Amino acid sequence: MSSLGESTEDVRSGMKANEMVRGRMRVRRKTTKVRSGCATCKIRRIKCDEAKPACLKCTSTGRKCDGYAHCFGSDIHSNSSLTMVANKAASLIEVDALVPLRDVQLPATLPFFGWSIGNRAKRSFHHYIHRSAKDLTGPLPSQIWHASVLRLCASSSAIQHAVVALSEFHERFCSPTTAATSLEACYEHYHQAVRSINRLLTAQDSTSTRLIQETLVACAIFICIEVLVNNDIAALTHLEGGLGIIRHVAKCKTSPGGSAQLDDQMADLAGLFTRLDLQALNFVGSRASQEPVQSSTSFPNLPSFSLYRCIRNAQHFMRSSAKTSKYSLEAPSIVIREREHHLSALELWYQGFKSQCSDLPVAENAANLLIAYHTSRIKLRVCLEPWETAYDTCFADFRAIVAAAECIMASRIPSFLTNSEKYFTLESSIIEPLYFTALKCRDPFLRRQALSLLRRSGKEGVWDGLAMAEIANFVIELEDGNLDIAKQDCELSWADESQRVHSTAVLFNRAARTVDVESSLRNESGAWRFQNAVLKW
């Protein structure tokens, strides 16, 4: 890199002159290469003094010290190389049709690494690039599973092991009969990834932006693995750890104006963990509701982040003030005003979204935002109503949920997916809204349409479509009895209030694929009765 004021030709001439000694070419003395110097000095080909946290050779000349290779377990590429890695990784994933693993000849060397790897890891990275990364990207545009993960793979042994483990667990879930790796072998790479991350956290400055991003990406991968193996408690532990890091970073980077100024990569990660937090809050009924991470205009995908912030705030309200007022004789006026405030915030988002929706790349992205909006809108409208018939006024929203779910399902299933293969993504999209629709929409046709979609929806994080479909079907049979919806020539009546289920408590045994269900019904005098069952999916 030339200093200011020097032309390229001047630099080249100086380099040639320095290589000449008494008319002869300088001969470099053969020495063993030192791998412990910083990345910047290695690029400049000078001896590093290895001062920590930044070497003096860099700081004394105004350069940025890019850190030390030995801390990451493999050679660190230069910044230009990492950019090339990200570009190559993205180009590998942007394909019109996913390629089945069984139909391709795997290369001897992966082009975005530049070094050879074993056949097992090679197979795993191929599956990750062509299947896992696309499935895991979730309902909204994100670079985490594409460029971010593969860029970190180029320099981090922890992320390399984590990706191999994730790919193998994902393949075992999607194609259990054809997966080539044993469960023990999957855990081998997973444990190596965890150990590598723990070593990094104890060996380096915890405020390093690179280390924080690497830790958060590893945390997201670990959450995904634990969900795939049905270990919800461990997944929740990793989620809490990631949220703690996000809150700490947001607090440290708060501008004088009071908002967190995060770069695009950190904002992308903050968005992911915010959505996973909302998923856990909706699924784990006993989980404490905490204030969400604050955002600003620095976040990418602003329509999505502002919507999820509205939903998270509304969920916090419904889990606290609204819950205690739902069955009281009259909800306090302050609680009613708070509900109207959250409804107004949602409506304000919707009006802004309609004016910007043309900027979204494909209809699927818009459908994912709309399905979340309509679901939250129904919940807010009814959260203070003691009677289930209040849901009957939300038919248009339920219909919009089903229409959006059909759009999303039509775009997500690969053409080569066979009946024996299953779909998995980490983020919530359609399962929870369809389950909610099947439970609370009493139109017999629409709720069964939601039930049919639910059975084909796969698994989204902790939400298992088949399991939720069995629970929803149990509730539908309780309410509708032996209703014959095939008789379309007559108008079908909706269930009376005394026949309607108010709430359904569930306890999963994922190993046995069973769920204990208790549904609560309430007659017009206010007396409760309960229906219990053990369901299998």
Q: What is the pLDDT of residues 395-449, one digit of tens each?
A: 999 999 999 999 998 887 654 455 557 889 999 999 999 999 999 999 999 999 9
**Do the Cβ atoms of 461 and 276 come closer than 8 Å?**
yes
Choice among 114-123, 247-256, 504-513 with the minimum mean pLDDT: 114-123
Say whether both 120 and 185 belong to one domain. yes
In terms of Cα–Cα distance, which of 470, 397, 394, 396 is closest to 431?
470
> How far from chain centre, in Å, is Cα 457?
17
Choose between 189 and 263: higher pLDDT: 189
Say whether both 49 and 83 belong to one domain. no
Backbone angles phi, psi at 529, to 5 degrees: -140, 160
CATH of the domain at 27: 4.10.240
Question: Band of the pLDDT at 481, cuts 50, 70, 90?
Answer: confident
Say whether both 44 and 182 belong to one domain. no
Task: Give the residue numbers spanning the domain of 230.
Answer: 75-282+293-300
Percent with pLDDT over 90 in the chain: 44
Identity at 169, one-letter amino acid code: F
Choose between 405 and 10: higher pLDDT: 405
User: Residues 6 or more apart from 21 whose CB is under 8 A from it?
Assistant: none
Domain boundary residue among 20, 40, 67? Answer: 67
User: Residues 6 or more apart from 350 whose CB is under 8 A from it?
Assistant: 373
Distance CA 161, CA 184 (A): 14
Q: Is the dihedral of CA 283, 285, 288, 290 positive or negative?
A: positive
The domain total for the chain is: 2
Q: Is 478 exposed, middle or buried (0-12, 13-18, 19+ CB in 10 A)?
A: middle
Question: Band of the pLDDT at 62, cuts 50, 70, 90?
Answer: low
Say whether both 181 and 272 belong to one domain. yes
Say whether both 146 and 38 belong to one domain. no
**Do the Cβ atoms of 501 and 520 come closer than 8 Å?**
yes
Say whether both 86 and 170 belong to one domain. yes
pTM: predicted TM-score of the whole model, two decimal places: 0.75
**Do the Cβ atoms of 320 and 341 come closer than 8 Å?**
no
Say whether both 237 and 114 belong to one domain. yes
In terms of Cα–Cα distance, which of 289, 290, 275 is closest to 426?
275
Residue 86 lies in a domain: yes
The string of pLDDT tens digits covering residues 365-405 is 889 999 999 999 999 999 999 999 999 999 999 999 999 99
Say whether both 107 and 229 belong to one domain. yes
Say whether both 272 and 123 belong to one domain. yes
Residue 41 lies in a domain: yes
User: Residues 6 or more apart from 515 whose CB is under 8 A from it?
Assistant: 467, 470, 471, 506, 507, 508, 509, 534, 535, 536, 537
Is 39's pLDDT higher than 70? no
Say whether both 120 and 39 belong to one domain. no
Backbone angles phi, psi at 312, to 5 degrees: -65, -40
- Tokens in use for 12? 């080249």
Residue 225 lies in a domain: yes
Is 12's pLDDT higher than 60? no
> How far from chain centre, in Å, is Cα 274?
9
**Do the Cβ atoms of 245 and 213 come closer than 8 Å?**
no
| Residue 520: other Cβ atoms inside 10 A | 13
Say whether both 63 and 171 belong to one domain. no
Omega before residue 100 within 30° of 0, cis: no
Say whether both 134 and 252 belong to one domain. yes
Domain boundary residue among 35, 67, 99? Answer: 67
In terms of Cα–Cα distance, which of 75, 73, 92 is closest to 84?
92
Distance CA 319, CA 322 (A): 7
Give whichever of 7-16, 200-209, 287-296, 379-388 has the largest mean pLDDT.
Answer: 379-388
Choice among 17-21, 142-146, 152-156, 157-161 with the minimum mean pLDDT: 17-21
